[in-house]
Amino acid sequence: MPITSESSLPRVGTELPLTRHAEALDKSSVAELTATVIDDMVSDELIRVIHATDLPMLRGPDLARSLPFLDHSTLKRLTFLARQVCRNQGY
């Protein structure tokens, strides 16, 4: 089921099945993300990936709620960190 808020956004290059379907958003999929795919993600997609990985530094409810207020480059850095956490966990 596509995300309705992002379905009208034009996509350039690679389709991102990871963020288009909630059931595909797991740690294994996050671990397999390439740098190009992460660079092409919009903020809402980055936030979904970050939430799906349950980063230790964002476990408090206040910190997790602050993600939408972060700039795009910070969200990308957190997404790369989330990918590395998933890879370190063996996914």
Averaged pLDDT in 10-residue chunks for the chain of 91 residues: 40 42 74 97 95 83 85 97 95 93
Residue 7 domain-assigned? no
Residue 54 domain-assigned? yes
Residue 29 domain-assigned? yes
Q: pLDDT at position 65, please?
A: 85
Q: pLDDT at position 24, please?
A: 57
- The structural domain count of the chain equals 1
Range of the domain at 52: 17-88
Q: pLDDT at position 36, please?
A: 97
27 near 47, Cβ under 8 Å? no
